[in-house]
């Protein structure tokens, strides 16, 4: 285990033992707080080194944009545009970097198949269907129209 996780657990058990003299309820509260902090450390450790490449079609539908929205660089990036037959290999794509794949002509729909790895050689796979005729999905759009959202 990491030193910070061990320190949090030892401090939590020590605080709980000390508060047991005052009140058992305070002791249980200290254990719950220590457990929450320990879980936050474990979740934070799991969320490190995660690249995430997002594909989008340019406004004029003449290029595909690849953007790394993750928190780590993506290595050995391979993008395949399915009905067109265009394949691109990149050695790496930095965090928040954008790479543009120019196309020979405008496309109405294209499927992008992405494979990439993180720094620990863990493979990732993403597939995105891009269309020039349909707007992109808005992640903040509510399930039904509320408060005048359109």
Model confidence over 18-71: pLDDT tens digits? 988 988 899 999 999 999 999 988 888 877 888 889 998 888 888 899 999 888
Q: Indicate if the pLDDT at residue 148 is higher than 70.
A: no
SS3 23: coil
Only one residue has tokens 């003449």, namely: 62
Distance in angstroms between the alpha carbons of the first and the last residue of the chain: 49
Q: How many CA atoms lie within 13 A of 141 on its CB side?
A: 9
Q: Indicate if the pLDDT at residue 149 is higher than 70.
A: no
What's the confidence (pLDDT) of residue 141?
73
The answer to whether 64 touches 56, Cβ cutoff 8 Å, is yes
Predicted TM-score (pTM) of this structure: 0.69
């Amino acid at each position: 285990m990491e030193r910070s996780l061990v320190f949090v657990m030892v401090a939590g058990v020590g605080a709980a033992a000390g508060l047991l003299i005052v009140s058992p309820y305070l002791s249980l509260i200290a254990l719950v707080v220590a457990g929450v902090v320990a879980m936050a450390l474990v979740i934070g450790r799991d969320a490190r080194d995660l690249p995430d490449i997002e594909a989008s079609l340019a406004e004029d539908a003449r290029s595909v944009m690849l953007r790394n929205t993750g928190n780590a660089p993506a290595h050995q990036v391979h993008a395949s545009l399915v009905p067109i037959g265009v394949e691109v290999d990149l050695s790496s794509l930095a965090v928040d970097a954008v790479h543009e794949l120019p196309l020979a002509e405008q496309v109405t729909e294209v499927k992008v198949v992405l494979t990439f790895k993180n720094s620990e050689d863990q493979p990732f796979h993403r597939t995105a269907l891009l269309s020039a005729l349909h707007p992109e999905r808005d992640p903040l759009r509510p399930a039904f129209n509320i408060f005048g959202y359109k």
